[in-house]
């Protein structure tokens, strides 16, 4: 449950921001990364950005997460079969 997911800051409004993940935007709190700027990539956990990171790092992490998700879905489908 300590997994954090990277996203990009699209809009910044005080300590609240709109962050894009895989094309979907969500509201994320920026209280823990006061240095954040518009366009930055952030690592998000439980609705809060916990760190800023560069784009390349963010993309690597995203690729890994997509893999894990795919496998989990496959597994649950397999488990659901009698």
Residues that bind other proteins (CB under 8 A): 1-4, 29, 31-34, 43, 45-48, 50-51, 53-54, 57, 60-61, 64, 68, 71-72, 75, 79
Separation of alpha carbons 61 and 47, rounded Å:
18
Separation of alpha carbons 40 and 30, rounded Å:
12
Least distance between other proteins and beta carbon 72 (Å)? 7
Least distance between other proteins and beta carbon 8 (Å)? 16
Least distance between other proteins and beta carbon 2 (Å)? 4
- Of 7, 20, 21, 12, the closest CA to residue 52 belongs to 7
């Amino acid at each position: 449950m300590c997994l954090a997911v990277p996203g990009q800051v699209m809009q910044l409004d005080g300590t609240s921001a709109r962050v894009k993940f895989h094309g979907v935007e969500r509201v994320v709190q920026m209280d823990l990364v006061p240095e954040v700027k518009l366009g930055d990539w952030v690592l998000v956990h439980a609705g809060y950005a916990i760190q800023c990171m560069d784009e390349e790092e963010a993309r690597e992490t995203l690729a890994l997460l997509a893999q894990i998700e795919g496998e989990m879905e496959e597994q649950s489908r397999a488990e659901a079969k009698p």
